[in-house]
Structure 1
């Protein structure tokens, strides 16, 4: 069986990891997949059969997305990258991959160039095809022209294919990267990556109590939203029948989790947990989703058609989530939360209002996993035919 090395570096949330693992799961039907995880290991995160996970010493960032944090046992980030580079090269030598798939780089994660460029060069020595796996929106930079020039140079030197996991009818990559036409490699849209695109949801029954779902992805940020909803739950207790199911995220600080748990003990309508590997099941049964506006959570909203309120993350001037959620709000599909709305009493009224709203339904391409697999196989088979 052909081998595929998939590199994923998540440093703040868990969206990159969820999307990458969904793609790896699809590819594992045709390739022996080695999944390199450069971020923190998440307890109870499901690993699909047929995938070997290689955990590098974890590098993450602070909650403001401004500085990389040094893994335990290393003097600095550069020392960690040197160590990780040698591990990556050892893996590459061992498996001699047919394909190397790198998530986000070089559109982002260029700080990881010291380990990634040697990996790509070594893989090329073995004749591997190289692919960039990219979400629908990339982060813009202060010096955007210089940034885009560097991206084009790296893409044209090291990559055979760019797969954009989005729907160009909704958000073309050109909205956040203007030089797509200057890329010399194959460029394809795959549609959005949904881990369970064909999943059927059981109809709600009387045994399912009315529920509001609250989530913030990985949990390194969004604490102000969690606190606001927790405090609002006390006001809502005798106003609506809904139970509030809150997930703080696996990376939420202990102090934040304990504070929310303390509030929950005083409220009959609030349950606080850290993490579920199946947020989609909860969302399918919810009457309202209150969340951040990350890629995967937003796709859960689109897939289930649930009413949704979203608070976009804007740390480090990142406009990715705001751009996507604002576009959906214009289509009548979600309600964007402004940070100034996070007053418990006022927010309670917004929740009641949202429960009475019927969202607009729109069709987007959600076949990202299947189309990605087809594109990767076509690239490999094209090389074999040549």
Structure 2
């Protein structure tokens, strides 16, 4: 079998990890895969058992700065350890292909390890294919300052860009103006969306929650480093909603929500019999399918769950930083298509939110939303890679 080394680094949320894992879930059917995890551990998150996992000393960003885990003296020590680990792993695994998730369109804070790795590959194994896996929207308002660097890196190192979007929704040139200067192939794979799990794949906790008789309002904020204000407002509005209609509110805070914020929300929810607060489930899409209303941000994977299930959706476009417009761009397109209702972050006053929730629940959901776009991105990524690595068209007979 051909070998693929898949580099994944999530610095703020966990969307890159979720999307990459869904791709890897398909790749292992045709390739031997080693998955490089550069971010902090997510308790309960599962990577397919057939995949070899290489865990780097984790890095993440808080307040715009790289953070390191306990056990290392400083950031430079972590950088050296990761740089050496990547090169040693490449030499041991000897992949036919390296996939870098999001780099070179992002992850420039990781030049210290990625450029030495790419230079090493070019020196010792120049036939290795180097491919970028990137989401639908690059999204940064300051991208024009780095477009030249991105073009240079792509031309020097990369064979292909796998763009995980349906061009009917978002084209690469809409968030990256210099596509024609990338000097490598660009393949649209369609969106990478999770499959809905069978009941026998769910935990007893999830089954119990999903079998409640009351209508479910599902609230989630991805990894949890942003979105606290939304959850706080939902809990406050639950008292108003309880008087108006039968329901149960299921909240997932995300594994990376700061402990202090989580405890504050937990305390606020103690007296609310219509609220269940948990950190994380690996089966959020199953809750999406069951929910009468989903309230969320508009990260890539949450949006894919909305499209897959057709759930009624109320969304709040909150970016990680002021320069990251990814969710705003995605939200405007979803709203224009009538797929979601939107509430702006500055309008999260509990009474207003409660009324917005009741208004949304009176509208019909659109289960045909999953027919609007190509959601086979993980499967088509595997097809494209087979074509690239075996150097023959898998569509030759078509």
Superposed, 1:311-350 pairs within 5 Å as 311-314=316-319, 315-350=321-356
Change in 2 beyond 3 A, CA 1:138/1:206: closer
Change in 2 beyond 3 A, CA 1:268/1:85: same
Aligned residue among 230, 235, 240 for 2:235: 230
Change in 2 beyond 3 A, CA 1:211/1:171: same
Q: Shift of the alpha carbon at 1:201?
A: 9.3
Residue 372 (1) aligns with residue 377 (2): no
Residue 161 (1) aligns with residue 160 (2): yes
Superposed, 1:210-221 pairs within 5 Å as 210-221=215-226
Cross-structure match for 1:295: 300
For the Cα contact (< 8 Å) 1:71–1:77, is it kept in 2? Answer: no
Cross-structure match for 1:84: 82
For the Cα contact (< 8 Å) 1:131–1:163, is it kept in 2? Answer: yes
Cross-structure match for 1:265: 270
Cross-structure match for 1:129: 129
3-state DSSP class of the match of 2:81?
helix
Aligned pair count reads 379
Aligned residue among 278, 287, 300 for 1:282: 287
For the Cα contact (< 8 Å) 1:40–1:60, is it kept in 2? Answer: yes
Q: Under a length normalisation based on structure 2, what TM-score does the superposition of the two structures give? A: 0.91
3-state DSSP class of the match of 1:313?
coil
Residues in 1 aligned to 2:57 and 2:153: alpha-carbon distance in whole angstroms? 25
Cross-structure match for 1:356: 362
Change in 2 beyond 3 A, CA 1:228/1:186: same
Change in 2 beyond 3 A, CA 1:139/1:284: same
Q: Shift of the alpha carbon at 1:185?
A: 1.2
Cross-structure match for 2:65: 67
Cross-structure match for 1:52: 52
Residues in 2 aligned to 1:154 and 1:74: alpha-carbon distance in whole angstroms? 30
Residues in 1 aligned to 2:72 and 2:285: alpha-carbon distance in whole angstroms? 38
3-state DSSP class of the match of 1:24?
helix
Change in 2 beyond 3 A, CA 1:235/1:373: same
For the Cα contact (< 8 Å) 1:301–1:308, is it kept in 2? Answer: yes
Cross-structure match for 2:206: none
For the Cα contact (< 8 Å) 2:317–2:345, is it kept in 1? Answer: no
Gaps of 5+ in 2: 201-209
Residues in 2 aligned to 1:283 and 1:308: alpha-carbon distance in whole angstroms? 9
RMSD (Å), alpha carbons: 2.1
Aligned residue among 112, 115, 122 for 1:114: 112
Change in 2 beyond 3 A, CA 1:39/1:81: same
3-state DSSP class of the match of 1:238?
helix
Change in 2 beyond 3 A, CA 1:88/1:351: same
Q: Shift of the alpha carbon at 1:73?
A: 3.5
Change in 2 beyond 3 A, CA 1:134/1:367: same
Q: Shift of the alpha carbon at 1:51?
A: 0.5
1:5-50 Cα offsets, whole Å, 9 max, x none, are: 1000001111000000111111111111111011101111012121
3-state DSSP class of the match of 1:268?
coil
Q: Shift of the alpha carbon at 1:270?
A: 0.3
Residue 28 (1) aligns with residue 28 (2): yes
1:185-227 Cα offsets, whole Å, 9 max, x none, are: 1110000001217x6899xx99643100000111111000010
Q: Shift of the alpha carbon at 1:383?
A: 7.9
Gaps of 5+ in 1: none
Q: Shift of the alpha carbon at 1:309?
A: 1.0
Residues in 1 aligned to 2:72 and 2:150: alpha-carbon distance in whole angstroms? 29
Per mean C-alpha deviation after superposition, the further-off stretch among 329-338 and 14-23 is: 329-338
Q: Shift of the alpha carbon at 1:378?
A: 0.6
Per mean C-alpha deviation after superposition, the further-off stretch among 262-271 and 296-305 is: 262-271
Per mean C-alpha deviation after superposition, the further-off stretch among 104-113 and 249-258 is: 249-258
Q: Shift of the alpha carbon at 1:313?
A: 2.1
Q: Shift of the alpha carbon at 1:123?
A: 2.8
3-state DSSP class of the match of 2:277?
strand
Cross-structure match for 1:182: 181
Cross-structure match for 2:101: 103
